[in-house]
Every structure is written in C-alpha cells, then in structure tokens.
A = this chain, B = another copy of it.
C-alpha cells in the first residue's frame, strides 16, 4: 500500500536506522524498540508503515539493494575509462574502502539476512531474491563486456561468471568477519579475478593495480 507522502522522511529514517542495526546485530539481535527509540517514533506509528518485523526487514533489504545499486553505478562511472574487468576490481575495492571508512563493519546485509532469515521468512526471502537478481544482472553485464574485451575466459556464460563472482564475494566477507582483517577481502578479490581472467586480463589487472597505487598512494586499501 502506498504511504502518504508526508510520512516518507520518517519511513526513510526507520529504514536507515534499521539497516545499520541489522548489519551489526542481525535479525534476531535487532529489536524494533531500539530502532524506534533511535528515530524517536512511537510503536503505534511503526505499524502505519510496516505490517510486521519481517515486512520491515524486507523493506530494508530492498532499500539496501537500491543503495548498493546506486553506489555501483557511481563507482563504475568513476572508472569508465578502464577495461571492464579492471573496473570490477576497482569498484569492489572502493566498496570495501568506503565501508571501512564509514561503517563499524564491512559485512554485507544481504549475506547476513540470507544466512539468518531467508529460509524462515518468505517475505524477506522474496526481497533477497529480487535484490540478488538485480545484482547478478549488473554483474553479468560487466562480465559480458569483459569477455568482449577478451579479458575474461570464454568457456562460461556471463551469468555463470557473475554467480561465481558473487558467491565468492559473499564467502570472502564471511572470512573477513572471522578474522577481522579487511585485507582478506582484497586478496580474495584479486585471486578470484585471476581465476577468470585471460592472460591479457591478468596483465590489465596488474597495470590497473600499479596505476591506482601510483595515483592514490595514501589510500588504505589498494
């Protein structure tokens, strides 16, 4: 049901506060009351916006999905002059650097909700399916272009490569959470890209790494 226009700022505040807490504390570790207190919204009002906690979390998942899609487009525009595979490398490194600078964790809300709630909440599962589908579509496009540029192996479809990349990315974020070292995400990203790159692709990736280190020497993650 569409919400009254005047309520949008409150709804947005709830989504943003919920997003931050969910990523840190998970579904069951996050209380609605804590979010309401943070945003200064009475409990009754909450149910004007969302039917249930699961409905709220599904909305947060979709909101988070919009955020990362917008971020992806913006980061991609920054590196549009580079080959597609090198773009992918830099986009994901920049994502990590941003999380490291702005958030208490580099963990991914999609991964966290996939693990904790997907199989027990249909409404959250549906939101996750939608967001992953959008993500995979963007990644597939990127791999298709990288194949046309001969930087990526041709023996798999772009959709397969995108899924492999995304699975591995989510797994590397779990590894980061276990060892609390953001560098493992970067190392894993570089190693994975070498698995899918052609010889030419590997050379381009190395050149990009050198170029980024030269032009951004103070960046924590390169």
**How many identical subunits does the complex contain?**
2
Among the 9-residue stretches A7-15, A74-82, A177-185, the one with 4 or more Cβ atoms under 8 Å from chain B is A177-185
- Interchain CA distance A179-B169 in the complex, whole Å: 18
- Among the listed B29, B180, B196, which residue makes an inter-chain contact with A125, where contact means beta carbons less than 8 Å apart? B180
Contacts of A166 in B (CB 8 A): 171, 175
CB of A53 within 8 Å of the partner chain: no
A115:B116 contact, CB within 8 angstroms: yes
Which of A41-49, A105-113, A203-211 is near enough to bind chain B?
A105-113
The reply on A155 being an interface residue by CB < 8 A is yes
A111 touches B174 (CB 8 A): yes
Complex CA distance for A167 and B179, rounded to whole angstroms: 13
Query: Which residues on the B side are within 8 Å of A120 (C-beta)?
Result: 24-25
| Contact B164–A170 (Cβ < 8 Å) | no
Contact A111 B115 (CB under 8 A): yes
Proximity bits, A7-38, B CB within 8 Å = 1, else 0: 00000000000000000111111000000000
Does the CB pair B174–A188 fall under 8 Å?
A: no
Verify A180–B115 contact, CB threshold 8 A: no
Q: Counting CB contacts under 8 A, is A129 at the interface?
A: yes
Question: A132 at interface (Cβ–Cβ under 8 A)?
Answer: yes
Chain B residues within 8 Å of A160, by CB: 191
The docked-state distance in angstroms from the alpha carbon of A112 to that of B119 is 12
1/0 per residue A189-202: CB within 8 Å of B? Answer: 00110111000000
0/1 interface trace, chain A 136-165, chain B, CB 8 Å (1 if under): 000000000000000000011000100110
Determine how close the nearest CB of chain B comes to the CB of A156; give it in whole angstroms: 7
User: Which residues from chain B contact A163 at a C-beta distance below 8 Å?
Assistant: 175, 188, 191
